[in-house]
Amino acid sequence: MEKVLEFLKKAGTWYLATVDDAGEPHVRPFGAQNIFEGKLYIQTGLKKNVAKQMLAHPKVAISGMADGKWIRLNAEAVLDERAEAQQAMLDANPMLKKMYAVGDGNTAVFYLKNATAVFCSFTEEPETITF
């Protein structure tokens, strides 16, 4: 999981895919991640469609590139409503504090469970990590 976190940080911007109620895919850029209590977290706003989609259909996919390699990660997103989880995310990603605050009714942190991450490149065999 640490390797996944470091890769996402290095990528800077990575892409999260969700599906809506009609089964239509949606992909958008993300850039906030953190490990808290042994789980990999991502963050968004509860008012956004992405949060609504993850709540209704928790299976997500993440992809990003760094140093000529890319990651394909599939997981289930689980909302953690605890203030401690929100604070840990905001502390790890201070740029979010301009838009979000603990307990503001909009800050949403999701941890990823049943995750499989595959690191790929054109020159090396794929490496798979599950958590």
Reported as a single tens digit per residue, the pLDDT across 86-108 is 999 999 999 999 999 999 999 99
- What does the block give as tokens for 68? 């000529």
pLDDT of residue 115: 98
Q: How far is CA 11 from CA 30, 64, 125, in A?
A: 10, 6, 20
The three-state secondary structure class of 83 is: helix
The model's pTM:
0.96
pLDDT of residue 12: 97
pLDDT of residue 40: 98
- Nearest CA-CA partner of 42 in 84, 83, 78, 6: 78
User: Which residue, chain included where needed, has tokens 């599939």?
Assistant: 74
